[in-house]
Amino acid sequence: MQVMVIGLGSMGMGAALSLLRAGHEVFGVDPRSDACAQLANAGAKETGSRGLDFASRAEAVLILTVNAEQVESVLFGEEGIAGKLPPGTPVMISSTVSADDARRFGLELEHAGHIMLDAPVSGGPVKAREGAMTVMAAGREEAFARLAPVLDAVAERVFRISERIGDGAAVKVIHQLLAGVHIAAGAEAMALAARAGIPLDTMYEVVINAAGNSWMFENRMRHVVDGDYTPHSMVDIFVKDLGLVTETGRALRFPLPLASTAYTMFASASTAGYGQWDDSAVIKVFPGITLPGDEGEER
């Protein structure tokens, strides 16, 4: 297929590379010239900052932008592609957005004559590059069928949540509640270990071999032990995602005490200047401890 991938961040780039490996022709869209150049060098058919330049040739669209505002812009803004895509083009929206936004995009795409798959993803940059993401998708059978070649290329597991647009987004929001709370809890545990004078590499090894482990602890707290906060998923991503979680709770009049606390921790880390750091840098909100890599720290 000729697939347009919009948003060449860590997940979008991985998905685009996986599509190339599977034999698809890829148009890459991103405002950053270096990301476009990277994908072009990997064999993309064309890349650029404007989806309009490729919209008429796309047989499918995969959107992996940062937030709902960017989805809105690339589809329906001044240079939005919705009006230039061939009639009936399947559009897979994999950005993390609220269920309400997903439903709105679904209706607007339907009015424009296209088909939407509400399909958030998880797995991180490594899984994205391996074509092994987890997709939590909702939409009509036709959308799944038309996008099957794309899903086969980028995903190891595809969960069909329902036919109702918005349910995929809701599942991703709930998943992000767990992911954010796990990172925040891991950071709190490692901060307490630092305060108690326990070597962090020892604490880390104990936890990953005991019942308190989680995937997020094992993955993210390794960064803390190494003192390496090179961003794979940034603090500000979880400010956004946990913000969606807490907004969902308010809309449903449902208390989310752990998610609210985790949101406050990530927001505090962002305010302190760590927003563009790896999300494990949420540990920096704890005072009175010394962590690996603290010497000569710059924000």
Active site residues: 172
> Which of 123, 115, 143, 91 is CA-nearest to residue 18?
123
Phi, psi dihedrals of residue 140, rounded to the nearest 5° = -70, 155
- From residue 32, give the alpha-carbon distance in Å to each of 46, 126, 299: 14, 21, 23
CA pseudo-torsion sign 172, 105, 80, 275: negative
CA 290 to CA 250: how far, in whole Å?
37
Alpha helices in the chain (DSSP H): 10-21, 33-41, 68-76, 99-111, 124-129, 141-146, 148-154, 167-195, 200-208, 215-226, 235-251, 257-269
